[in-house]
Chains A and B, each alone.
Chain A
Amino acid sequence: MSEHITEEVLKSLPDASGHFGKYGGRFVSETLMAALDELNETYQKLSKDKDFLAEFDRDLNYYVGRPSPLYHAERWSRTVGGAQIYLKREDLNHTGAHKVNNTIGQALLAKFMGKPKVIAETGAGQHGVASATVAARLGLECKVFMGAVDVERQSLNVYRMKLLGAEVEAVQSGSKTLKDALNEALRHWVTHVDDTFYIIGTVAGPHPYPQMVRDFQAVIGREAKQQCIAQTGRLPDALVACVGGGSNAIGLFYPFIANQQVAMYGVEAAGLGLSTGKHSAPLCAGRSGVLHGNRTYLMQDDNGQIIETHSVSAGLDYPGVGPEHAWLKDIGRANYVSITDEEALAAFHKLTQLEGIIPALESSHALAYAEKLAATMRPDQTIVVNLSGRGDKDIHTVAALDGVQV
């Protein structure tokens, strides 16, 4: 990696205007600028406030069920025959994925800012469920924007959100998937900016969202670091996490960012294969551009129009990625690789059969890459994989692919 980038710089970004190198920033229409200023000011203050942080920690412990275990997948590691693979069990969190770490934090912010209404966008529905969950608990009115195609694909999560008291709006514009849900949430926010807090689900969007969501998710990496040292006596050799928008990956990576001996691998969805164009891998196969409030790597055509993405996992089906990942790629601190639908499905079955853990299809991308990586390493080396979510929500998808009617 570039030698002029010091540990202080690595840990200090974004800068005051929300940039990670040339990425990040605030690219929104003028009406939202005041709301972002207000949010940024509040967040920068509360992120150093002992009471706020204590309440956040308390909720993570007693409501989410943290710390989540770091589990040595011995049988799977033995089968691979290389490095020891440890799983950070975010799948055991309340609501079944890492998403809730962030929604707890943002809902607390909404409460501190006196906003009675929250909105969220969702793809697979996990962030929508996590938002509806915290909204129910804090008595906030919650509206979730979800592409009409995803509403169809993820009817179970739609019903969960409704049970939790949220209103789910099926978005009919554009490709009717996650990116359109984000557009519609921004449109709603601009119209109801006075009383509404927008809970963005990943480390993308305008500043301060990429920083804020990273900080809330960084609990994953902080715990993993302590747990790894406690169990193995040292830091891991490599970290592996799937990257859609990139919140679970940055949550794992960030506390290790200055430990340059720890290699970091972000795994994007190669869908049907990078060469087919039917994938969701902007870091591996896209170019820099501006969308949804930040500059980052995007899937776009020759004219700068955003193109539709494909992945078997709805949670990775997004044409952009968090700006900090774009920056970590450019400076060479993290490696970004990709895994196809087929490889992810194979890993899904393998972990289920060898360890009795059914992983989310998103996390299965990380597992599939970890397996390849482990095989190139020694048995005395360690890989920590973020098992970002559980696979219950994907049972229907997998069954359909296997030709089984459930």
Chain B
Amino acid sequence: MSRIQDCFAALSAKQHKALIPYITAGDSHPSMTVPLMHGLVKAGADIIELGIPFSDPMADGPVIQLACERALRHGINIQQVLAMVAEFRQTDQLTPVVLMGYLNPIENMGYDTFALAAAEAGVDGVLTVDLPPEEADLLSTALNTHHIDSIFLLSPTTEDARIAQIAKASSGYLYYVSLKGVTGAASLNVSDVAERLNLIRQHTTLPIAVGFGIKDGASAQAISALADGVVVGSALVSQIGAEQENQDVALAKVTAILAEMRHAMDS
């Protein structure tokens, strides 16, 4: 069993849902990322999605674009992101870490080199935003060889036949994008999500995490009633952006938001 499968199995036994925070590696300073990851776990994170910064994050809204720019100002590259994961793993062997990013930096490193280095660092899954399953065979094979899950997106526009195809290409969990838009958008419609998740579940038994538009305890609670996991990104990253001068304050604010979500989801 992979760390991700273990995680969902353990949560399911407790009848809890996964809380999955996203942060961009190296934002707002490289020294902040590993302490932040540990802080997120303490505040109730079950899985951490760690963003690999990219110069042209086309699927992201302004909050995560700016986070990428902040990280890139420190010259963050994949090797450094993997070193952060390895450092996190020294004291946390349980919490799954999923890398999230765009294909070009990974392709630039080479799929096999990347997959091997990611496995050695303790990465559990990889979600490449601009890589649909049709183009993903080579990367998925490399990741699979090193027992890393390939996580794919489903969207409100994904047609039935494609849902089955995407589910088949995926392992670990599926990430359902709750709305037509970019990260950090505001118009989450819970009943639409419920309807779509019912449809998706006809095609797969994989856990389904839902992201985009979740920003506080109330939205986390509403989605956790429907999904197996709740992803929160921009709401956390905007705090990191607002408190660049004071990392301790940023950490306190981010973990407070996450703790509030945890509380709302479990009560």
**A interface residue numbers (CB < 8 A to B):** 17, 25-35, 37, 173-174, 179-180, 183, 186-187, 190-194, 287, 289-293, 298, 300, 302-307
Contacts and interface: CB of A to CB of B under 8 A. Distances in A.
Contact of B108 (A17, A186, A193, A303): A303
A291 B56 contact: yes
Interface stretch (B57-65, B84-92, B228-236): B57-65
B83 interface: no
Contacts of A303: 77-78, 105, 108
B103 A191 contact: no
Interface stretch (B41-49, B179-187, B189-197): B179-187
Given A17-B134, A187-B58, A29 B129 contact: yes
A190 B158 contact: no
Contacts of B181: 31, 190-191
Contacts of A293: 130
B135 A304 contact: no
A29 B61 CA distance: 13
A342 to B, nearest CB: 29
A31 B58 CA distance: 12
Given A26-B132, A304-B109, A31 B77 contact: no
A186 B58 contact: yes
A290 B180 contact: no
B239 interface: no
Secondary structure call for the B interface: loop
Contacts of A34: 155, 157-159, 162
A40 B42 CA distance: 48
Given A26-B134, A26-B135, A27-B130, A193 B104 contact: no
Contacts of B132: 26-28, 30, 33
Given A27-B131, A191-B182, A305-B104, 20 more contacts: A25-B135, A28-B58, A30-B153, A30-B158, A31-B153, A34-B159, A35-B157, A37-B159, A174-B56, A187-B60, A190-B59, A190-B180, A194-B180, A289-B104, A292-B56, A302-B108, A304-B109, A305-B54, A305-B72, A306-B56
Contacts, number: 119
Contact of A179 (B56, B60, B129): B56
Given A26-B134, A26-B135, A304-B104, A31 B180 contact: yes
B80 to A, nearest CB: 9
Contact of A304 (B57, B60, B106, B134): B106
Most buried by B among A179, A190, A194: A190
B108 A300 contact: yes
B154 interface: yes
B185 A31 contact: no
A30 B154 contact: yes
Contacts of A35: 157
B177 interface: yes
A400 to B, nearest CB: 29
B72 A193 contact: no
Interface string B165-185: 010000000000100111001
B108 A304 contact: yes
A282 B134 CA distance: 26
15 contacts: A17-B134, A26-B132, A27-B135, A29-B130, A29-B153, A31-B177, A34-B155, A173-B65, A180-B56, A183-B56, A193-B180, A291-B56, A292-B56, A293-B130, A302-B108
Most buried by B among A30, A32, A290: A30
Contacts of B103: 27, 290
